[in-house]
């Protein structure tokens, strides 16, 4: 718990509100297979939360490609990803995720999305959750992606809440790093080897107890 009561919760999108982490993985795997690049689920874990460009650079490792090729490959992976969202419905929210957002609101907290994705608006529309949030900061909002603190600082600015009074819910190592760098309370979702450095850690969104994070009882 912080000294000052938090006034806002900033939710990561992919891996917290919905499991598009799997669709991102499928898109990268298809591109990697087509281009003969070594890649698998384990390598994909390191890409969680990274921007599209940083993800491709990490996937490439030592392999050098020119800028037009980079752009073309990012565009192709994005096409695969966006196509895979076609059948997405509100049922694709992760169990407990929407209840968690509503619990935060019941407790009088503002709520925002802080996602590295340039497709966050589209995903929120598909989930019919756009209107539930007071602000959205996404891959279009800042230059420096997670693990830089910029995205979460921008979400806090849009909410008009000081960073020190924001809680971030994140599934990625880079996202927890970004939240801590922003001076925020970090709630990690997932295994300890991925988000164990967060202020609090829960296995899934459904396990998150905001009462524990805020040092309060049920709303
Ligand atoms: P896009 P998050 C991140 O979203 C994903 O975790 C990451 O896998 C993806 O590369 C990144 O968005 C960029 O997404 O290609 O759609 O712009 O977890 O920050 O909500
Ligand atoms: Mg995520």
Per-residue confidence in pLDDT tens, the chain, 219 aa: 446 899 999 999 999 999 998 899 999 999 999 999 999 999 998 888 889 999 999 999 999 999 999 999 999 999 999 999 999 999 999 999 999 999 999 999 999 999 999 999 999 999 999 999 999 999 999 999 999 999 999 999 999 999 999 999 999 999 999 999 999 999 999 999 999 999 999 999 999 999 999 988 777
Residues 13 and 111 in one domain: yes
Pocket test for ligand 1, best of 11, 19, 139 (most atoms within 8 A of CB): 139
Distance, CA 216 to ligand 2 centroid (Å)?
Answer: 26
Atom of ligand 1 nearest to the CA of 74: 15
Closest ligand (CA of 169): 2
Residues 57 and 116 in one domain: no
Q: Would you say residue 3 lies in a domain?
A: no
Is 139 a pocket residue for ligand 1 (Cβ < 6 Å)?
A: yes
Pair of tokens at residue 24: 């991102």
CATH code of 71's domain: 1.10.150.240
d(CA 27, CA 84): 8
Pair of tokens at residue 65: 């490609």
Confidence at residue 1, expressed as pLDDT on a 0 to 100 scale: 47
Distance, CA 122 to ligand 1 centroid (Å)?
Answer: 12
Distance, CA 207 to ligand 1 centroid (Å)?
Answer: 23
Is 48 a pocket residue for ligand 1 (Cβ < 6 Å)?
A: yes
Q: Would you say residue 41 lies in a domain?
A: yes
Q: Of all protein residues, whose CA lies closest to atom 7 belonging to ligand 1?
A: 49
Residues 37 and 119 in one domain: no
Q: Would you say residue 144 lies in a domain?
A: yes
Residues 180 and 79 in one domain: no
Confidence at residue 3, expressed as pLDDT on a 0 to 100 scale: 64
Residues 97 and 203 in one domain: yes
Residues 106 and 13 in one domain: yes
Of 49, 84, 119, the residue that ends a domain is 84
Of 44, 65, 84, the residue that ends a domain is 84
Pair of tokens at residue 49: 């939360």
Closest ligand (CA of 146): 1
Q: Of all protein residues, whose CA lies closest to atom 12 belonging to ligand 1?
A: 117
Q: Supply the range of the domain harboring residue 77.
A: 21-84
Task: Confirm whether pTM is higher than 0.85.
Answer: yes
């Amino acid at each position: 718990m912080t000294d000052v009561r938090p006034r806002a919760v900033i939710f990561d999108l992919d891996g917290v509100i919905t499991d598009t982490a799997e669709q991102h993985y499928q898109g990268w795997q298809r591109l990697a297979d087509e281009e003969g690049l070594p890649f698998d689920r384990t390598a994909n874990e390191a890409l969680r939360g990274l921007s599209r460009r940083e993800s491709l650079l990490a996937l490439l490792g030592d392999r050098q490609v020119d800028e037009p090729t980079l752009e073309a490959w990012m565009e192709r992976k994005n096409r695969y990803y966006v196509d895979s969202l076609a059948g997405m419905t509100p049922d694709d929210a992760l169990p407990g995720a929407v209840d968690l957002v509503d619990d935060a609101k019941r407790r009088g907290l503002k709520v925002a999305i802080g996602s590295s994705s340039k497709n966050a608006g589209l995903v929120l529309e598909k989930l019919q959750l756009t209107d539930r949030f007071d602000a959205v900061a996404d891959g279009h909002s800042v230059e420096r992606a997670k693990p830089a603190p910029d995205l979460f600082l921008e979400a806090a600015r849009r909410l008009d809440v000081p960073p020190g009074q924001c809680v971030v819910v994140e599934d990625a190592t880079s996202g927890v790093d970004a939240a801590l760098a922003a001076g925020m309370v970090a709630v990690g979702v997932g295994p300890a080897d991925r988000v164990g450095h967060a202020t609090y850690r829960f296995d899934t969104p459904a396990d998150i107890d905001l009462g524990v994070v805020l040092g309060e009882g049920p709303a």
